[in-house]
């Protein structure tokens, strides 16, 4: 186990709502660290420009900084001897990679759109900058939002109509839910790394007050709500009973 190591520093956006993090990547990594029982200390930061590769989260430990959740997970798995996927067969591993790609390389951009570009999302998501000094807050918030627009335009999502973007996000989830087991975990009775990814992607949507047709769809799927609630209860139990922070800012 990992007690010989001092806690790693986890740089991520501050918590919002009753979920580990509104950023699916920050939520994924914190969840994975808890699953792997690796001690960490959270350092809140609202400005990704300070991250080594301009993205959050990143970690610092043993004199090294590592960015990108998948690289961090691989590194920690190797250096700390943790393998959350040891029980998975080759077919489950392959499904895990495809689900990860759908959620991280596609759905994450749809979330960026629903949360940072759509008015229903921005009303809440701008609270991400709540810890920034009041005088600098509007400037940083609008700068980050502009950057999100640019990212989404370059990636391509923002070139489509709202209904088409939403439909593309719904397709991701219809596919993921089709291959997701009955539970309690994604691949049955035991947790594996994909649970951190699926939980994180779900946390951004059905567990937040940010309205969208994707949230309505996910909330209407009993399998999905039960999974999200169970995972939150197990991985971030201190938030399980917390009310949604409904007030818009």
Ligand X SMILES: N[C@@H](CCC(=O)N[C@@H](CS)C(=O)NCC(=O)O)C(=O)O
Q: Which residues bind ligand X (CB under 6 A)?
A: 23-25, 48, 54-56, 68-70, 147, 151
* Other CB atoms within 10 Å distance of the CB of residue 66: 19
My answer on whether omega of the bond before 57 falls inside 30° of 0, hence cis, is: yes
- What minimum distance in Å lies between the beta carbon of 53 and ligand X? 8
Question: By CB neighbour count within 10 A (0-12 exposed, 13-18 middle, 19+ buried), where does 201 fall?
Answer: buried
Task: Compare residues 145 and 230 and give the one whose CB is closer to ligand X.
Answer: 145
The residue behind tokens 């920050």 is 26
- What minimum distance in Å lies between the beta carbon of 4 and ligand X? 26
* Other CB atoms within 10 Å distance of the CB of residue 44: 11
Task: Find out whether 228 and 134 touch, Cβ atoms under 8 Å.
Answer: no
- What minimum distance in Å lies between the beta carbon of 46 and ligand X? 10
- What minimum distance in Å lies between the beta carbon of 61 and ligand X? 16
Task: Compare residues 24 and 121 and give the one whose CB is closer to ligand X.
Answer: 24
Task: Compare residues 51 and 177 and give the one whose CB is closer to ligand X.
Answer: 51
- What minimum distance in Å lies between the beta carbon of 140 and ligand X? 11
| 245: helix, strand or coil | coil
DSSP letter for 105, please.
Answer: I
Task: Compare residues 104 and 186 and give the one whose CB is closer to ligand X.
Answer: 104
HSE (side-chain half, CA atoms, 13 Å) at 69? 22
Task: Compare residues 106 and 230 and give the one whose CB is closer to ligand X.
Answer: 106
């Amino acid at each position: 186990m990992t007690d010989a190591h001092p806690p790693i520093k986890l740089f991520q956006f501050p918590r919002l709502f009753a979920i580990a993090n509104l950023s699916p990547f920050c939520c994924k990594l914190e969840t994975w660290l808890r699953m792997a029982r690796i001690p960490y200390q959270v350092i809140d930061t609202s400005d990704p420009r300070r991250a080594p590769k301009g993205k959050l989260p990143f970690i610092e430990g043993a004199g090294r900084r590592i960015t990108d959740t998948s690289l961090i997970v691989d590194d920690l798995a190797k250096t700390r001897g943790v393998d959350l996927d040891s029980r998975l067969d080759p077919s489950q591993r392959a499904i895990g990679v495809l689900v990860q790609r759908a959620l991280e390389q596609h759905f994450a951009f749809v979330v960026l759109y629903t949360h940072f570009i759509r008015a229903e999302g921005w009303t809440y998501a701008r609270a991400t900058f709540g810890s920034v000094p009041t005088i600098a807050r509007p400037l940083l918030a609008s700068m980050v939002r502009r950057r999100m627009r640019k990212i989404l335009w370059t990636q391509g999502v923002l070139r489509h109509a709202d209904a088409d973007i939403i439909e593309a996000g719904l397709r991701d989830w219809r596919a993921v839910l089709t291959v997701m087991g009955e539970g309690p975990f994604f691949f049955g009775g035991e947790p594996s790394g994909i649970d951190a990814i699926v939980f994180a992607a779900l946390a951004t949507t059905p567990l937040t007050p940010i309205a969208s047709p994707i949230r309505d769809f996910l909330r209407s799927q009993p399998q999905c709500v039960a999974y999200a609630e169970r995972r939150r209860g197990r991985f971030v139990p201190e938030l399980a009973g917390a009310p949604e922070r409904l007030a818009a800012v």
